[in-house]
Structure 1
Amino acid sequence: MNDNYAKVIVKGSPISKSNFKLFNINGRAILPYNSGKYHDRYAHYEEQIAYETRRQNPGKVLTEALIAVLKVYYKSRKRHPDTNNITKSIFDGIEKSGLIINDAQIRRIIIEEFYDEENPRFELDLFGESTYSIEYKVVKKEVEDNPINYSPPPNRKKASSLSTKTSACHSSTNQNKFFCEVCGKSIKKEESISANKGKTAICRNCFKNLF
């Protein structure tokens, strides 16, 4: 067994921490784990990463600077998180497992994006820099593939057409009732805690229970 190398494979569609953050009235981000709602999903995923990492690498601890090669396999080509945001989510779980001391150890990283409808997952290889080095190059293809083009999200396309309507109904919207995302009870605006960039409201009692 090489003490300067570790491999981790975690099955399931990779998710990004940024999609599950809530924000309190002071702007501090929180990641709930016991609300019983959708937002708990990230905390459970992080625990899964930590568990699988330790199970696959029992007793191993990498303490030196590392090279990381991350292969992310999404279930769908059309709907998945930004791959750039995935790395933080994965390394938080790896760090939590104790396999590495701190994610700052990752000094070089290669990320590749793939698709596997039947077996979404991520595969991570970690190499100690004192033993391994990395080489890569980009070459021009002899025969070009069909390009994978990207377009703006639908909400951006609608933004300009909705701006006038939003301005007109802003004052009336403030009078609407708010409902707690966790317990579902009706709450007043001044009694709610804003979350998810103002898209979510949480009552103060439920907010306290998130910790």
Structure 2
Amino acid sequence: MSNTNYAKVIVKGSPISKSNFKLFNINGRAILPYNSGKYHDRYALYEEEIAYECRLQNPGLVLSEALIAVLKVYYKSKKRHPDTNNITKSIFDGIEKSGLIVNDAQVRRIIIEEFYDEENPRFELELFGESSYKMNYSITKLDSPVSPINYGPPPNKKGEGKTLKADTKHISKDNSKLTCEICNKTVSKESSITANKGKTILCKNCFKKLF
């Protein structure tokens, strides 16, 4: 394959979704912290890892034309993993940051496949320039049907009681005080900032330190 319009990137580790690590500032703008020393840093560090591996595996290469992408995601567990549809945006943010591609809008055709590998979770991404490659695909009916893989509703849709419990885990007994997830200090509702759909509570001092 030509080394000017083809690239492959393999990043080891369980893929994560950007949507799970967003905080929101006072104006409602999404922010991804990277130096708080807390759980929310994981995505920004993962994005940096993707960019690093991308450059290491494809030194000096820049793909600037329209692209076809084949993404294979290998999760560690069948039971608990992010939505594969959300993973796509997360991965291409890191690819774009590396400079391998100019803009993720270049990807005009994409195939995503989901697999499981308990010993070696990872993602494998191949990029093909449309000036040299084309995509052919087909869907055929099985001669002998297999057992379906059925899915239930997301955990936060199973019951209002469970959702309420998750959303109010940082609320104190008097129902008017909240606990900052970082410093564990009790703060009032007026002096706190919520993130992750109300599941994360931060005091304003800790929020300022994040950025």
> TM > 0.5 between the two?
yes
Structure 1 distance, partners of 2:204, 2:9, is: 39
The SS at the match of 2:128 is strand
1:10 aligns with 2:11: yes
CA distance, structure 1, for counterparts of residue 62 and residue 101 of structure 2: 6
**Aligned residues of 1:25 and 1:194 also touching (Cα < 8 A):** no
Flag the 1:139–1:25 CA change in 2: closer, same or farther, 3 A: same
Aligned residues with identical type, % of pairs: 75
Equivalent pairs, count? 204
1:192 is matched with which residue?
192
Structure 2 counterpart of 1:81: 82
Q: Kindly tell me: are residues 177 and 140 of structure 1, through their superposed partners in 2, closer, same or farther at Cα, counting changes over 3 Å?
A: same
Post-superposition offset of 1:151: 1.0
RMSD: 2.0
Matches within 5 A, 1:49-198: 49-159=50-160, 175-198=175-198
Could you tell me which amino acid in structure 1 is paired with residue 200 of structure 2?
T
2:201 aligned partner: 201
Q: Distance in 2 between matches of 1:34 and 1:107?
A: 34
> Tell me, which stretches of 5 or more residues in structure 2 are unaligned?
166-171
Please give the TM-score of this superposition, normalised by the length of structure 2: 0.91
Q: Give CA-to-partner distance per residue, 1:14-45, whole Å, 9 cap, x none.
A: 00000111112321111111111111110110
- Shift in CA distance, 174/97, structure 1 to aligned 2, threshold 3 Å: farther
Q: Aligned equivalents of 2:80 and 2:60: distance in 1? A: 37
The alpha-carbon deviation at position 156 of structure 1 amounts to: 1.9
Aligned to 1:31: 32
The TM-score, its normalising length taken from structure 1, stands at: 0.91
Whole-Å separation in 1 of the counterparts to 2:45 and 2:162: 37
The 8 Å contact of residues 23 and 197 in structure 1, kept in 2 or not, is answered as no
> What letter matches 2:177 in structure 1?
K
- Which ranges in structure 1 are unaligned for 5 or more consecutive residues? 166-171
- The CA deviation string for residues 171-196 of structure 1, in whole angstroms up to 9 with x for no partner, is x9773321212222221111111111
Distance 1:162 1:203, change over 3 A: closer
CA deviation profile, 1:126-183 (whole Å, cap 9, x unmatched): 0001111000000011121211001113432222x67999xxxxxx977332121222
**SS in structure 1 of the partner of residue 159 of structure 2:** helix
Q: State whether residues 156 and 162 of structure 2, in contact with CA within 8 Å, keep that contact through their aligned partners in structure 1.
A: no
